[in-house]
């Protein structure tokens, strides 16, 4: 029998226990032994089938030599950071879905794991149940990664879909996402772009080999998207989605999160509900798209349990990146098309930007610019009365 412990018993933690129990036969066949949850670390005890295994003292896990793998689902960087370090120092593998901890401290924790010759694995931290970090670092490892972009927050995508398709209110759609267990404990992290931001940082760390600090990455969420802009975009053949992007530039790399207009002919424009889609562009593969459920109890838990199984079967320590943050550039340097809605005429738009694609003109004017950097778009728009400005994927 192989013993594990789960730290935190919220949506993901209880999901991990369920996947281990429900798929016990499958897991046993692959590991050759039974996988057992020996301890569950909680703040408050509660009635559930794991009641007798619950503890509120981390030392019960740290000092138990039988526990080989610890699954951290506490979240945040407080206790989760301390217990992860202590578990690694005690020679235990650690698996997590905690994107904040990986984005902020992953480099240091990987180094510690390497020193102790144990694993620190975090497939579930990006894209929930979608395999993305393993394909990126293993299957695509012969590529020079040029860009990664995608819909990285299931809750925001769910809210946008509900608002656009069913005319739901923002608050109503958010409450539904919370009921389904998609949202973070603090859902502002979902709707204000932080959750997608942490995920794009992890993807950028792995793709570019340098630490990308979340604090340096501009993160904008879905609160500023109006149904008016959604409708104008749709009539022009575009959809508005919240994207995280990590792009290699001639002189470094950049990353950010912001709403984007996407041509409706691209598959990512049609990704709806809680689904995520992550597109990786390698110099040999071209674009590869990963699609699936980006949030929720069992999809995320299944990625954690697969990592637990990998800890027990693999001796390879391949994933790492440099703590050096040089090479990170302000995304304002990145050139894309930009959507504007202005209180003004098409002539005003043409005077500011030269050629534009007009989307609508009545008492307001909506248009798409040619490809210009964020900084240049802001400069040229200075004389206009801007009501909305959204980047486009181009």
Q: Which residues bind ligand HSE (CB under 6 A)?
A: 128, 153-155, 182-184, 190, 195, 294-295
Q: Which is nearer to ligand HSE, 75 or 236 (CB)?
A: 75
User: What is the DSSP-derived secondary structure letter of residue 142?
Assistant: T
Tell me the closest approach of the beta carbon of residue 256 to ligand HSE, in angstroms: 17
Task: Determine the Cα–Cα distance for residues 196 and 117; give it in Å rounded to an integer.
Answer: 31
Beta bridge partners of residue 340, listed in sequence order = 367, 389
> What sign for the dihedral angle of Cα 174, 185, 207, 141?
negative
Q: Reduced to 3 states, what is the DSSP secondary structure of residue 149?
A: strand
Helix 154-166 to helix 227-235 angle, to the nearest 10 degrees? 80
Structure-token pair, residue 276: 């995520």
Decide: 210 and 324 in contact? Cβ < 8 Å.
yes
Identified catalytic residue from 39, 99, 199, 241: 199
Q: Which two tokens stand for residue 357?
A: 């694609």
Measured CA to CA, the distance from residue 156 to residue 134 in angstroms comes to: 25
DSSP 360-371: EESSSEEEEE-S
Query: Rounded to an integer, what distance in angstroms lies between the CA atom of residue 209 and that of residue 362?
Result: 49
Find out whether 214 and 103 touch, Cβ atoms under 8 Å.
Answer: yes
Tell the smallest beta-carbon distance from residue 126 to ligand HSE (Å). Answer: 8
Kindly state the tokens that stand for 37: 């949850």
Stated as kind and residue range, the H or E segment containing 258 is strand 252-263
Nearer to ligand HSE, 104 or 184 (CB): 184
Q: How far is the CB of 276 from ligand HSE (least distance, A)?
A: 7
Rounded distance between C-alpha atoms, residue 87 and residue 70, angstroms:
7
Residue 372: CB minimum distance to ligand HSE, A:
31
Q: Is 199 a catalytic residue?
A: yes
**Which residue(s) pair with 287 in the sheet?**
281
Q: How far is the CB of 152 from ligand HSE (least distance, A)?
A: 7
Q: Toward ligand HSE, which CB reaches closer, 64 or 176?
A: 176
Nearer to ligand HSE by C-beta: 76 or 263? 76
Token code pair at residue 323: 């703590």
- Choice between 8 and 294, CB closer to ligand HSE: 294
Token pair 């969420």 is found at 221
Both tokens assigned to 315: 């001796």
Q: Shortest distance, CB of residue 231 to ligand HSE, whole angstroms?
A: 25
Which tokens belong to 376? 């240049």
Residue 151 CB, shortest distance to ligand HSE, in Å, is 9
Active-site residue list: 199
């Amino acid at each position: 029998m192989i013993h594990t412990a789960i730290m935190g018993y919220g949506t993901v933690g209880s999901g991990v226990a369920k996947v281990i129990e429900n798929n016990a036969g499958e897991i046993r066949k692959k590991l050759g032994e039974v996988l057992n949850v020996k301890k569950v670390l909680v703040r408050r005890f509660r009635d559930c089938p794991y009641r007798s295994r619950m503890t509120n003292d981390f030392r019960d896990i740290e000092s138990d030599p039988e526990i080989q793998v610890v699954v951290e689902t506490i979240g945040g960087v407080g206790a989760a950071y301390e217990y992860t370090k202590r578990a690694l120092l005690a020679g235990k593998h650690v698996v997590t879905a905690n994107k904040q901890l990986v984005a902020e401290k992953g480099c240091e924790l990987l180094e510690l794991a390497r020193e102790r010759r144990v694993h620190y694995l975090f497939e579930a931290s990006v894209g929930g149940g979608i395999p993305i970090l393993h394909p990126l670092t293993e299957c695509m490892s012969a590529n020079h990664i040029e860009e990664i972009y995608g819909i990285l927050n299931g809750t925001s995508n769910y809210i946008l879909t509900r608002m656009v398709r069913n005319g739901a209110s923002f608050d109503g759609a958010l409450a539904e996402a919370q009921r389904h267990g998609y949202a973070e404990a603090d859902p502002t992290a979902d709707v204000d772009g932080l959750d997608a931001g942490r995920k794009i940082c992890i993807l950028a760390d792995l793709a570019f080999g340098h630490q990308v600090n979340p604090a340096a990455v501009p993160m904008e969420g879905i609160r500023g998207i109006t149904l008016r802009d959604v409708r104008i975009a749709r009539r022009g053949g575009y959809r508005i989605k919240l994207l995280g992007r990590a792009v290699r530039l001639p002189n470094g790399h950049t990353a950010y999160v912001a709403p984007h207009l996407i041509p409706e002919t691209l598959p990512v424009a049609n990704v709806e509900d809680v689904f995520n889609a992550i597109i990786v562009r390698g110099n040999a593969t071209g674009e590869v798209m990963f699609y699936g459920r980006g949030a929720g109890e069992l999809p995320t838990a299944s990625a954690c349990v697969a990592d637990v199984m990998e800890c027990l079967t693999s001796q390879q320590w391949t994933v790492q990146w440099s703590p050096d943050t040089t090479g990170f550039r302000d995304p304002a340097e990145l050139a894309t098309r930009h959507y504007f809605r202005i209180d003004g005429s098409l002539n005003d738009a043409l005077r500011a930007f030269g050629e534009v694609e007009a989307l609508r003109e009545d008492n307001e004017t909506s248009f798409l610019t040619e490809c210009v950097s964020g900084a240049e778009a802001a400069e040229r728009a200075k004389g206009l009365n801007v009501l909305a400005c959204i980047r486009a994927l181009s």
